[in-house]
Structure 1
Amino acid sequence: MSTNLNSMVEANPTTVLWNDSADPVELKQSIAYGAVGATCNPVIAVACVKADLPRWSARIAELDAEMPEASESEIGWKVVEELSIDAAKLLEPAFDKYEGRNGRLSMQTDPRLARSAAKLADQAEYFAGLAKNIIVKIPATKAGIVAIEEATYRGVNINVTVSFTVPQAVEAAEAIERGLKRREAEGKSIDGMGPVVTIMCGRLDDWLKECVSREGIDIDPEYLEWAGVAAFKKAYAIFAERGLRSRLLSAAFRNTLQLSEFVGGDVVISPPFKWQKQIVDGGAELPERMSVPVDPAIVEALYQKIPEFRRAYDVDGMTHEEFDTFGATRKTLRQFLGADEELDQVVRDILIPAP
């Protein structure tokens, strides 16, 4: 294993690496770098199908025969399930080693269900039954917060997604706590449960950059690379203060700060494989940085000049009813919905090729 990612894992055993893909080639190499988790969703499924088109073309044709009345979407989601199950098998050794805390494959609930807490919880419970080491992504939206508590109560391990801000992360972690406490109150086991709460640091940065450009805000552009990091570190401190049992997960990488600044924390770092390879090939050292605060001058400038950063940084900057209106939430949900449509198109092109 590389001297940097390997040494990071060895020197900071609470800081773990997950791979932001279920592609089998990438995942196997990421496991060699020390990864103990991975993820799958329609975006990743499309990439995996395109990367191994002969295999998946044949499999989609078989699914068409097995499910003659299924829609393109139903076939596409069956592909997501099969990709996820395959990836989960690769992670079983880590799952057994960490007794369920790691070694999990994240499956994302269908974004078309995002308005229904009941449907999200039901699908989460179904996905959790596909393999012993599945963890299910539910968005930190108004309906998602309700679904997160309910699915946790049912014993589903949750990975909160579509989450960019301190208020979203804290509200989602509190929902998980309510679900865990309901289980405990009824004498149900929580052994082996390992929920995580994602902050998509790079997507927060993206949104703030868009706001700065649109509104003509005068701020050092380098400061905008620190917004997601600052939100993550603040949420981490709040989780510790409140005794929240979920771990934070850093995702949506736009710069190496979104890995290096969190080393040493009891957190999950989930970069795309290309970022892992870049860090490995670059040979950068990864010392402990979680305890080092972001420069207060940077945080103050972001806070004073960008109203959307204040919404993202203050623990009460948004109510859960307002999560759906946050710009990064809308953009991300639209992208995920677009990926669903793209997966449908891939299935269509295989089953009904153009003349």
Structure 2
Amino acid sequence: MTQNSKLADLSAAGVSVWLDDLSRDMIDSGALRREMDEHSVVGVTTNPAIFQAAIAKSDMYDEQIARLAAQGADVDATLTAITTDDVRSACDVFAQVAVDTDGVDGRVSIEVDPRLAHDTEGTVAQAIELAKLVHRPNVLIKIPATKAGLPAITRVLAEGISVNVTLIFSVERYVEVMDAFLDGLDAALQNGHDVARLVSVASFFVSRVDTEIDNRLEKIGTPEALALRGKAGLANARLAYAAYSEVFELGVRFPDLKAHGARPQRALWASTGVKNPDYPDTLYVSELVAPDTVNTMPGKTMLAFADHGWVNTESIVGQAAPSREVFAALGAVGVDLADVFAVLEAEGVDKFVVAWDELLTATAAQLAATKA
């Protein structure tokens, strides 16, 4: 198979291409393998909404649900079995990629139950359980960057488990996430784990920031406010990358861990599907290009980039100062950025909880029908 040249160029620029989607049909039909062969895909991310869509749209899970029902499994156990089976199978598809990249890529993420987003102890317990159930070296356990999630990140890493930190919206929270990561590496080292085998990414959400801030700018309605539409998401991500550089390239904590083989926690650009049709549909891919980053794309965005995307290698590095100017201008026109990020985090958790609850309800109905 021939790799798409545009996605190959993106990979050559240092951006790992991950797919923000997974289903049993993709695995069994070979579609996931084709994404690897044709679109330079070297990883997969999942979330409750992705599993909800996958299971609701397919009958490929019916046989397993019937078997689990016969065994007396409840709805939570059924969903755990379904999702960990899919992630385990996807990990096997990417196993050679993981070997070839020394574990940097070839990663598949699975998220803790979103209802545990504000429960540190519950998050830690389920993260450990998921890692044991999937039982693959290239799995990443997704933990939300809520206040309760921060200590959970440290404690899960301390157990020698690789982590994908999700639902990061602000640079301030991202700095806290990197601190939690470094604390986790310190603890893992003290616990006798090989920190060279620990991998982590920090999923920084992009398009949702523009959606929320654009709505506020339109309500303000002044020419100065309207001129800032579509600028916040990229500026926020660029400031996040500057923070990453300060911690992992210039910071005082990481060198000692690096001497033990530790690797930086890469920035992962999430929510990169454009939600405003007035913006280029590859905006959050083409304009977020920097070495040692990840872009996890919905299938639609990946196909758009493969068709007409561009690689702007000057889109992040050196862009901190103009990005700070964007944020200063947002504050000057009356956008309360602290409130923006608080709202986005709350909505992000709520959306995943709603998707998970819908999946629980649908699965419970299937279990009941099978037992009837």
TM category, shorter: 0.7 to 0.9
Q: Report what 1:15 is aligned to.
A: 15
Equivalent residue pairs, number: 337
Q: CA deviation at 1:299?
A: 4.0
Cα-to-partner distance string for 1:116-156 (whole Å, 9 max, x where unaligned): 21111121122222122110111111110010111111111
* Equivalence map 1:242-253=2 (5 Å): 242-243=247-248, 245-253=264-272
Q: CA deviation at 1:181?
A: 1.2
Cα-to-partner distance string for 1:191-226 (whole Å, 9 max, x where unaligned): 222211111111222222343355656655463322
Q: Report what 1:154 is aligned to.
A: 159
- Equivalent of 1:302, from 319, 327, 330? 330
- C-alpha distance in 2 between matches for 1:217 and 1:98: 50
Distance 1:311 1:49, change over 3 A: closer
Q: Report what 1:57 is aligned to.
A: 62
Q: CA deviation at 1:72?
A: 2.1
Q: Report SS of the residue matched to 2:168.
A: coil
How many percent of aligned residue pairs carry the same amino acid?
Answer: 25
Which ranges of 4 or more aligned residues in structure 1 deviate by more than 4 Å? 213-222, 294-297
Q: Report SS of the residue matched to 2:197.
A: coil
Q: CA deviation at 1:281?
A: 2.2
- Equivalent of 2:288, from 250, 259, 262? 262
Q: TM-score, normalised by structure 2?
A: 0.83
Contact 2:124 2:152 survives alignment (8 Å): yes
- C-alpha distance in 2 between matches for 1:58 and 1:213: 50
Cα-to-partner distance string for 1:287-315 (whole Å, 9 max, x where unaligned): 31322527555444223224333677xxx
Q: Report what 2:198 is aligned to.
A: 193
* Equivalence map 1:1-355=2 (5 Å): 1-10=3-12, 12=13, 14-23=14-23, 24=26, 27-32=32-37, 33-53=39-59, 55-66=60-71, 68=72, 70-129=73-132, 130=134, 131-213=136-218, 219-221=224-226, 223-243=228-248, 245-253=264-272, 254=274, 255-282=281-308, 284-288=309-313, 289-291=315-317, 293=319, 295=322, 298-309=326-337, 326-353=342-369
Amino acid at match of 2:310: E
Cα-to-partner distance string for 1:287-344 (whole Å, 9 max, x where unaligned): 31322527555444223224333677xxxxxxxxxx8xx0001111111110111111
Distance 1:203 1:306, change over 3 A: farther
Q: TM-score, normalised by structure 1?
A: 0.87
Gaps of 5+ in 2: 249-253, 255-263, 275-280
Amino acid at match of 1:7: D
Distance 1:190 1:306, change over 3 A: farther
Contact 1:45 1:79 survives alignment (8 Å): no
- C-alpha distance in 1 between matches for 2:294 and 2:150: 21
- C-alpha distance in 2 between matches for 1:308 and 1:30: 41
Gaps of 5+ in 1: 313-322
Q: CA deviation at 1:34?
A: 0.8
Amino acid at match of 1:301: A
- C-alpha distance in 1 between matches for 2:114 and 2:219: 28
- C-alpha distance in 1 between matches for 2:95 and 2:77: 27
Amino acid at match of 2:295: I
Contact 1:169 1:198 survives alignment (8 Å): no
Contact 2:213 2:335 survives alignment (8 Å): no
- C-alpha distance in 2 between matches for 1:306 and 1:173: 29
Distance 1:310 1:349, change over 3 A: closer
